[in-house]
């Protein structure tokens, strides 16, 4: 299993089918990266409430208020979800996000309420989770997420209230987490997002409380963090997420309160950051994250409070961002997290408040977005058990799209038309949390039904 990598199904540009070519019209330069690099940078395998196993065979959902993980097998023909034996699997208090190692062997949750990380071994045939021998692992107070390096050999946890970053290595045989050195690095106020530069040499953390980014060098042996010269570096107000491009040239900070994207150039020798000319660049209100298109030329940002997506042309040499023609693009009420299909031809985004998924085709030359036929798509049947849809995620084959409905803890599933990009609901979608439906869950659904009926929006209900 040690050589397992996420399946490669598509490519952009000519050449090896497992390679993406990042051609840029500005300079004529071309960067060539394995497709797994783009999977990593665009968070396809990063921490989320819902995550698809790299094999494309299983779906895992952490339930914040139920303290458990629902695990499902994916029917490769229909996209339907079937609960795995033993599911749901218990976690510590308030699991916030799921992370899976790139080889698909281990799964971890950062538990917000208990200040721990839970770890599990994944059965490669059945997908069943088995707690690791030393799990849970103590970290700081209010851990937000757990971010692994691209090889899955080490990682970091951002602890918001204790204002620290816990660091560890991953035992490649057992999956147990081993604290490095003292296991904790001091950081700025309210650390929210920690990212590891793809080369594994540097890491960055965004701080909501001080409007800064801390930059660290990573010890090549111990993996401990040391602040680089000049750190922390100023960005816009309320930085919520960070994105690093695959070539490790630039860091993009989505600044929620100032409605901007701050772009900083990375000194690849020293790890220091320098804001590029023209930065910060205006986005919409409350930008959520800057996601890089698999082709490398474009970046897309969900602007939650202005109900649209900003699309930018990324200038290869300077990092300068230029709006693409027609930007921004309407995307429902409170769009948050755009997701690309593996081919890079389609973009989908959850509309959190309007209970929809908006789909777009992408002009590969200009980056312009055009709604796919029949978009938007409802997140749940009768808008009853599919409310407050979270970030969508697409299986490695590009055939099915899944998202977790955070209000109801159900999972909506769709089949993607490979020609038009239109979404069709999978039969029996949305799928409820696996295992016995607790009284707590039933009560949530009944309250949702009562509110919907009061609005006159529901004709039937299924619990």
- CA-CA-CA-CA torsion sign (434, 438, 444, 446): positive
Burial group, residue 100, by CB count within 10 angstroms (0-12, 13-18, 19+):
buried
pLDDT band at 52 (very low <50, low <70, confident <90, very high): very high
Tell me what the mean pLDDT of segment 157-182 comes to. 88
Separation of alpha carbons 303 and 286, rounded Å: 5
pLDDT of residue 41: 52
pLDDT band at 49 (very low <50, low <70, confident <90, very high): confident
* Radius of gyration over every alpha carbon of the chain, rounded to an integer in angstroms: 21
The 3-class SS string of the chain reads: CCCCCCCCCCCCCCCCCCEEEEECCCCCCEEEEEHHHHHHHCCCCCCECEEECCCCCEEEEEECCCCEEEEEEECCCCCCEEECCCCCEECCCCEEEEEECCCCCEEEEEECCCCEEEEEEECCCCCCEEECCCCCEECCCCEEEEEECCCCCEEEEEECCCCEEEEEEECCCCCCEEEEEEEEEECCCCEEEEEECCCCCEEEEEECCCCEEEEEEECCCCCCEEECCCCCEECCCCEEEEEECCCCCEEEEEECCCCEEEEEEECCCCCCEEECCCCCEECCCCEEEEEECCCCCEEEEEECCCCEEEEEEECCCCCCEEECCCCCEECCCCEEEEEECCCCCEEEEEECCCCEEEEEEECCCCCCEEECCCCCEECCHHHCCCCCECCCEECCCCCEEEEEECCCCEEEEEEECCCCCCEEECCCCCECCCCCCCHHHHHHHHHHHHHHHHCCCCCCCCC
Q: Give per-residue pLDDT as tens, 333-392.
A: 999 888 999 889 999 999 988 889 999 999 999 999 999 999 999 875 544 435 788 889
* CA proximity to 111, closest of 103, 102, 120: 120
Q: Give per-residue pLDDT as tens, 7-36.
A: 322 222 223 333 344 444 444 444 545 555
Separation of alpha carbons 442 and 205, rounded Å: 39
Tell me what the mean pLDDT of segment 89-102 comes to. 90
Q: Could you identify the residue written with the tokens 């090889």?
A: 151
Instruction: Tell me if 58 sits within 8 A of 74, measured CB to CB.
Output: yes
pLDDT of residue 24: 47
Of the listed ranges 2-16, 262-276, 417-431, the one predicted with least confidence: 2-16
Q: Which of residues 91 and 458 earns the better pLDDT score?
A: 91
pLDDT of residue 354: 86
Burial group, residue 165, by CB count within 10 angstroms (0-12, 13-18, 19+):
buried
Percent of the chain with pLDDT over 90: 49
Q: Give per-residue pLDDT as tens, 177-201.
A: 999 866 566 666 666 667 777 677 8
pLDDT of residue 134: 96
Asked if omega into 242 is within 30° of 0 (cis), the reply is: no
pLDDT of residue 100: 92
Separation of alpha carbons 98 and 132, rounded Å: 15
pLDDT of residue 405: 86
Tell me what the mean pLDDT of segment 61-77 comes to. 91
Query: Is the per-residue pLDDT at 127 higher than 80?
Result: yes
Tell me what the mean pLDDT of segment 109-121 comes to. 94
Instruction: Tell me if 277 sits within 8 A of 235, measured CB to CB.
Output: no
Question: Phi then psi for 38, rounded to 5 degrees?
Answer: -70, -35
Tell me what the mean pLDDT of segment 122-146 comes to. 93
∠240-328-211 over CA atoms, to 5°?
Answer: 20
pLDDT of residue 36: 57
Q: Could you identify the residue written with the tokens 């081993």?
A: 178
Instruction: Tell me if 130 sits within 8 A of 117, measured CB to CB.
Output: no
Strand partners, 287: 303
Separation of alpha carbons 336 and 289, rounded Å: 8
* CA proximity to 136, closest of 190, 102, 89: 89
Neighbours of 87 (CB within 10 A): 21
Mean pLDDT taken over the chain: 82
Query: Is the per-residue pLDDT at 451 higher than 70?
Result: no
Separation of alpha carbons 334 and 347, rounded Å: 16
Q: Give per-residue pLDDT as tens, 210-264.
A: 899 989 999 888 888 889 999 999 999 988 888 888 788 899 999 999 999 999 9
Percent of the chain with pLDDT over 70: 79
Separation of alpha carbons 69 and 87, rounded Å: 7
pLDDT band at 1 (very low <50, low <70, confident <90, very high): very low
- Please report, for residues 246, 377, 401, 409, 417, the alpha-carbon distance to residue 421 in angstroms, rounded to integers and kept in the order given: 26, 12, 11, 26, 5
* CA proximity to 447, closest of 392, 405, 384: 384
């Amino acid at each position: 299993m040690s050589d397992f990598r996420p399946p490669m199904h598509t490519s952009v540009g000519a050449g090896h089918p497992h390679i993406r070519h990042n051609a840029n019209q500005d300079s004529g330069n071309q960067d060539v990266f394995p497709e797994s690099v783009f999977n990593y940078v665009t968070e396809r395998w990063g921490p989320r409430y819902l995550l698809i196993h790299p094999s494309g065979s299983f779906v895992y959902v952490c339930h914040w208020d139920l303290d458990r993980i629902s695990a499902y097998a994916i029917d490769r023909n229909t996209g339907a979800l079937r609960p795995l034996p033993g599911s749901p699997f218990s976690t510590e208090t308030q699991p916030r996000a799921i992370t899976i190692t790139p080889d698909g062997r281990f799964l971890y949750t950062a538990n917000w309420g208990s200040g721990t990380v839970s770890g599990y071994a994944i059965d490669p045939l059945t997908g069943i989770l088995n707690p690791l021998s030393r799990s849970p692992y103590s970290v700081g107070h209010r851990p937000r997420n757990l971010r692994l390096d691209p090889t899955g050999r080490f990682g970091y946890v951002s602890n918001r209230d204790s204002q620290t970053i816990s660091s560890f290595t991953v035992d490649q045989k057992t999956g147990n987490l081993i604290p490095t050195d003292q296991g904790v690095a001091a950081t700025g106020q309210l650390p929210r997002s920690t990212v590891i530069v793809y080369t594994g040499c540097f890491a960055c953390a965004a701080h909501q409380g001080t409007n800064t980014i801390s930059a660290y060098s990573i010890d090549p042996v111990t993996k401990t963090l040391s602040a680089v010269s000049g750190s922390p570096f100023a960005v816009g107000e309320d930085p919520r997420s960070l994105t690093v491009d695959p070539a490790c040239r630039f860091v993009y900070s989505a600044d929620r309160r100032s409605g901007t994207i701050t772009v900083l150039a990375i000194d690849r020798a020293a790890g220091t950051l320098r804001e590029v000319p023209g930065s910060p660049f205006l986005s919409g209100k409350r930008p959520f994250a800057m996601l890089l298109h698999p082709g490398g030329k474009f970046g897309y940002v969900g602007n939650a409070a202005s109900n649209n997506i900003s699309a930018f042309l990324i200038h290869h040499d300077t990092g300068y961002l230029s709006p693409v023609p027609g930007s921004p693009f309407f995307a429902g009420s409170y769009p948050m997290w755009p997701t690309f299909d593996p081919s890079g031809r389609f973009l989908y985004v959850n509309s959190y408040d309007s209970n929809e998924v908006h789909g777009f085709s992408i002009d590969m030359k200009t980056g312009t977005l055009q709604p796919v036929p029949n978009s938007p798509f409802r997140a749940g049947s009768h808008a009853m058990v599919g409310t407050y849809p979270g970030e969508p995620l697409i299986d490695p084959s590009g055939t099915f799209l899944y998202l977790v409905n955070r209000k109801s803890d159900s999972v909506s599933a769709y089949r993607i038309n490979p020609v038009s990009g239109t979404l069709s609901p999978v039969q029996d979608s949305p799928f409820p949390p696996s295992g016995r439906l607790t009284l707590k869950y039933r009560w949530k659904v009944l309250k949702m039904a009562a509110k919907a009926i009061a609005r006159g929006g529901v004709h039937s209900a299924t619990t």
